[in-house]
Amino acid sequence: MVDQLRGKSAIVGVGHAGFGEAPGFSAYDIMAQSALAALDDAGLKLSDVDGLFCTMMEDAMPVLMAAEYLGIQPRYVDGTMTGGSSFVNYLTSATLALQAGLCDVALICYGSNQRTASGRLVTASKLPPYEGLYNPRYPISAYAMAAARHMYEYGTTREQLADVAVAARAWARHNPEAFERDALTREDVLGARMVGDPLTTRDCCLVTDGGGAIVMVRADRARDFPKAPVYVLGSAAASSHRQISQMQDFTVTAARDSGKRAFAMAGVTPGDIDVVELYDAFTINTILFLEDLGFCAKGEGGGFVADGRIAPGGALPVNTNGGGLSCVHPGMYGIFTVIEAARQIRGDAPGLQQDNVELALAHGNGGVLSSQVTAILGAASTV
């Protein structure tokens, strides 16, 4: 059944706005600028949009706020909030809505001004009732405890975690859109201020402003737009918990499940993927997701990322824009995994464009390793 959705929808426009710092602009301003950029990329207008897929850190009904701001009355909306994975998850719901004829032009969008508005990571969530009392630094403490357990069980080292940040920076240095482009060494990461053992500030994502947007249509009309279409070959979600205390195994995420189903739907394997875009809120994320998505065995992620293997020129290009660690992280990064994957396939990535990218994986993470959503995107040759 789900196989019937393979390649039935396509991304025909991507856009972004407000990367880094956008002083004076609200989160909705940045969302709208991103939406306009994506529609322009697709050769469409706001009045063409009849399906809206959006969530924001602000307001309890962000998809309605977004529609109101944009001045549209969409006939289909989805504001499902699973944290940063939401926007990868919308690839599935947009595909379903398009395929069912519930909408013809789907707009996925997001924006945040959290750097200039508050200067710190803003989360939409109140601390869970049985955890808030202990004053964990949310969400860092949760990821720190996952990292500590991975180190305990598999001998993963702080140096290997640092190598994830170093690789991300090496990609970002080639990307004019990236916020942090100064050289970064393993020693810099290890010597940075410790915020939640074993993670230093350089093991943590950026806090920036920024927004992103994606325009999707049914595959049968995907060739009628200016840019080469990027097809959704597979997409799958898995949810394992909400509170970090309820995570069954701190070293295994639900990406194992979402990845398996996304690959099955797309009919490809990890070895087929040309570029990998993972939600790297913290350095441990990249290691966990490479393992759980099947790029290496459980426990071997630390060794896998060492020695530049996921850096420019390495065996596996991972987070080719610089990721949430060095490119952009406006509260929720998920949409940017899809945008970078799509641009790599189209051949117009802003940084280091890889050669002959036909298949890309975008993986979103939400909450505290709670929601995992994997998408496999492909060029026309893969449909």
Partner 1 sequence: MPENQGPDKTFRDGLAKGQINLQQCNDCKKFIFFPRVLCPHCKGQSLTWHPASCGGIVHTTTTVRRKPERGGDYNVCMVELAEGVRMMSRVDEISPAEVTIGLPVTAFVGEIDGVPAVLCKPVEE
Which listed residue (100, 119, 134, 356) binds partner 1 by CB under 8 A?
134
- By three-state DSSP, how is residue 303 classified? helix
How far CA 102 is from CA of 77, 196, 225, in Å, comes to: 10, 46, 21
Contacts of 362 (CB under 8 A, 6+ apart): 88, 277, 337, 338, 340, 341, 374, 375, 377
**Helix boundaries (H) for 175-319:** 186-191, 255-266, 283-292, 301-305
Range in contact with partner 1 (rule: CB under 8 A) among 103-111, 241-249, 258-266, 281-289: 241-249
Q: Assess 330 for contact with partner 1 (CB under 8 A).
A: no
Contacts of 133 (CB under 8 A, 6+ apart): none
Name the residue nearer to partner 1 (CB basis): 83 or 196: 196
Name the residue nearer to partner 1 (CB basis): 129 or 176: 129
Which listed residue (51, 84, 139, 196) binds partner 1 by CB under 8 A?
196
Name the residue nearer to partner 1 (CB basis): 149 or 218: 149
Range in contact with partner 1 (rule: CB under 8 A) among 123-131, 278-286, 360-368, 369-377: 123-131
Range in contact with partner 1 (rule: CB under 8 A) among 5-13, 132-140, 178-186, 344-352: 132-140
Starting at the earlier edge strand, list the strands of the sheet with 275-278: 76-78, 51-54, 106-112, 209-218, 9-20, 230-239, 371-378, 359-366, 275-278
Tokens of 182: 């100064």
Question: Would you state the torsion angle of the CA atoms of residues 176, 182, 186, 188, taken in this order, to the nearest 10 degrees?
Answer: -150
| Contacts with partner 1, 143-162, as mask; x by CB under 8 A | -xxx-xx--x----------
Name the residue nearer to partner 1 (CB basis): 67 or 146: 146
Which listed residue (135, 183, 355, 356) binds partner 1 by CB under 8 A?
135
Name the residue nearer to partner 1 (CB basis): 146 or 215: 146
CA 370 to chain centre: 14
CA 235 to chain centre: 13
Q: Assess 250 for contact with partner 1 (CB under 8 A).
A: yes
We find the least distance from the C-beta atom of residue 205 to partner 1, in angstroms, to be 17
Burial of 248 (0-12, 13-18, 19+ CB in 10 A): exposed
Number of residues in contact with partner 1 under rule CB under 8 A: 26
Rg of the chain over all Cα atoms, to the nearest angstrom: 19
Q: Assess 194 for contact with partner 1 (CB under 8 A).
A: yes
We find the least distance from the C-beta atom of residue 124 to partner 1, in angstroms, to be 20
For residues 171 and 323, the answer to whether their CB atoms sit within 8 Å is yes
Which listed residue (35, 106, 206, 244) binds partner 1 by CB under 8 A?
244
We find the least distance from the C-beta atom of residue 302 to partner 1, in angstroms, to be 16
| Contacts with partner 1, 72-111, as mask; x by CB under 8 A | ----------------------------------------
Q: Assess 191 for contact with partner 1 (CB under 8 A).
A: no
Which listed residue (100, 133, 183, 271) binds partner 1 by CB under 8 A?
133
Tell me: cis bond preceding 330? Omega within 30 of 0 counts: no
Name the residue nearer to partner 1 (CB basis): 149 or 260: 149
Name the residue nearer to partner 1 (CB basis): 146 or 206: 146
How far CA 238 is from CA of 91, 260, 287, 324, in Å, comes to: 14, 10, 18, 21
Q: Assess 287 for contact with partner 1 (CB under 8 A).
A: no
Residue found under tokens 């998809």 = 63
Binding site for partner 1 (CB under 8 A): 129-131, 133-137, 141, 144-146, 148-149, 152, 193-198, 243-246, 250
